[in-house]
Structure 1
Amino acid sequence: MTKFEFYQEVEILPNCLYAEYIGKKGVIMGIGEEDGVIYSYAVSLLDGESGLCFSPDCLKPTGKQFKREDFY
């Protein structure tokens, strides 16, 4: 099981290396995993920016879960 699930809403934490994204919310759209280790999550921000990757420790769940059909 991953720390976050696909289409789960997350918030970018202050320890993120990219200050311009701190505090923004987005949705998990991809999971970077190799040999059972999760290295990153692909996040699409709710403001429209997509294709961003963050390490798991830079994200926290908001408690909101979207569905695949909300995006496709």
Structure 2
Amino acid sequence: NSRDGQRMGPWTMVDTMIVDGLWDAFNDYHMGITAENIVEKYGITRDEQDAFAAASQQKAIAAQKAGYFDGQI
């Protein structure tokens, strides 16, 4: 295997960060493409997307500090 070494025979190493986290299983493309798709489809700029994402992260941090996720995290 990729961690301990493969002794003999063919094998494929899978990048689990891409496969499990960054690949859109519904549309079969990398999530990095979605920003450009949103710009094209809805006219929302990358800066607007980044501002929304930053605000969302701040809300998540505040909710976690307030204990809203205590039963889940």
Give the shorter-chain TM-score range: under 0.3
Greater RCO, 1 or 2 (C-alpha within 8 Å, sep 6+) = 1
- Which protein is richer in helix relative to its size? 2
> Which protein has the larger Cα radius of gyration, Structure 1 or Structure 2?
2
Taking structure 2 as the reference length, the TM-score comes to 0.20
- Which protein is richer in strand relative to its size? 1
Taking structure 1 as the reference length, the TM-score comes to 0.20
